[in-house]
Amino acid sequence: MNKSNKIILLTFTLLSSLVSSYGQTTSDKIIFLTDYYETFVEELNADDKKVDSIYNEKVLTPIYNRYFKKSEYSAIVKDFIASPINNIFELKQSIDRISKNKTTIENKIIGAINKSRLSIFNESLTIYVLPVNPNLKQVIAEMSGIMGLTAGSKQIILTIEPDILGWENMLEYAVAHEFNHAYWTNLNFGKSTNWTLLDYLVFEGKGDCFAHSMYPSVIAPWTTALTEKQISDLWNTIQPNLQSTDIGLQMEIMFGSNNYPVWGGYSVGYDIVRTALENNKSLKVEYWTNLEAVNILRKSKYK
């Protein structure tokens, strides 16, 4: 090999190393699914009496079958996009706002993926962008315009409402949060058939601790929904149920109900992981992200 070829090979090797180290990859994809909703609106205008069937035909079924049928969390995704939309005017507005902010959305997503990949590596991610279901706009507003869902080890869904103040910063935070979930899923999905309340608490706490480490100035309202006393009270209430696999109970505790405070489980889960990391500052991100929930609990202030 002559000197010139050696230099070219060395340069290529160094560039490849930099690409791996700094998370710059061309394999990530951002797919806007708004066109399915636009087709739904067009069809619905022709027959306003068949909202449910048209939504299922034009949105739910094609999106699920094409993109998520084989995802690790396919059932959760199907439930997430299952609710028909009746407020067509507001849906149109949401689609239009996403279109107008498409470049900003893409840049924020790419930036957050690359930043997250500096700490933990998960390649070839696909991000799907959905408009807001108007029925959930109040909830989205309370979440600063963004709702995220990890569909699987390589897929993240983002519902975005650019009409809500602070959505740009929360978008970056949400991508980091879901990136952590996708990373965990890639390495741990299927290892256990029992998904307990403790698993759920710690899973979300890990996502929020990771996202806060990436974007410390962003305040996620679900992590600060309760006072210290309220967290203690909720912990005492739910502690006997930590090994429960009852999904209904888990959802009540995480999101709130008549029996539990709104976002209570998220606040408790975040505090468990946060205190575990504060007590063990030397733990690397890839280590604590993959650490079993019971071991995170042992390292926290919770007993």
**pLDDT tens digits for range 94-152:** 999 999 999 999 999 999 999 999 999 998 999 999 999 999 989 999 999 999 999 99
Is pLDDT of 21 > 60?
no
Mean pLDDT, the chain, whole residue set: 91
For residue 157, the SS3 value is: strand
Give the strands of the sheet with 155-160, arranged side by side: 29-32, 126-130, 155-160, 146-152
> Which residues are registered as beta bridge partners of 157?
128, 149
**Residue in the structure block whose two tokens are 């957050």:** 112
Residue type (1 letter), 76: I
Minimal CA–CA distance to 270: which of 211, 218, 186?
Answer: 211
**Residue in the structure block whose two tokens are 């080890």:** 153
Mean pLDDT of the 296-303 span = 95
Query: Binning pLDDT at 50, 70 and 90, where does residue 250 land?
Result: very high
CB atoms within 10 A of CB 156: 24
For residue 251, the SS3 value is: helix
Report the DSSP pairing between strands 146-152 and 126-130: unpaired
CA distance 254 to 284: 27
Q: Which residues contact 252 (CB under 8 A, 6 or more apart)?
A: 259, 260
pLDDT score recorded for residue 46: 66
Tens-digit pLDDT profile for residues 159-212: 999 999 999 999 999 999 999 999 999 999 999 889 999 999 999 999 999 999
String of DSSP letters for 28-43: -EEEE-HHHHHHHHHH
* Residue 72 near residue 189 (C-beta atoms within 8 A): yes
Mean pLDDT of the 53-68 span = 96
Mean pLDDT of the 44-66 span = 89
Is pLDDT of 39 > 90?
yes
- Whole-model pTM: value is 0.90
Tens-digit pLDDT profile for residues 221-243: 999 999 999 999 999 999 999 99
Is pLDDT of 244 > 70?
yes
- Which uninterrupted H or E stretch holds 148? strand 146-152
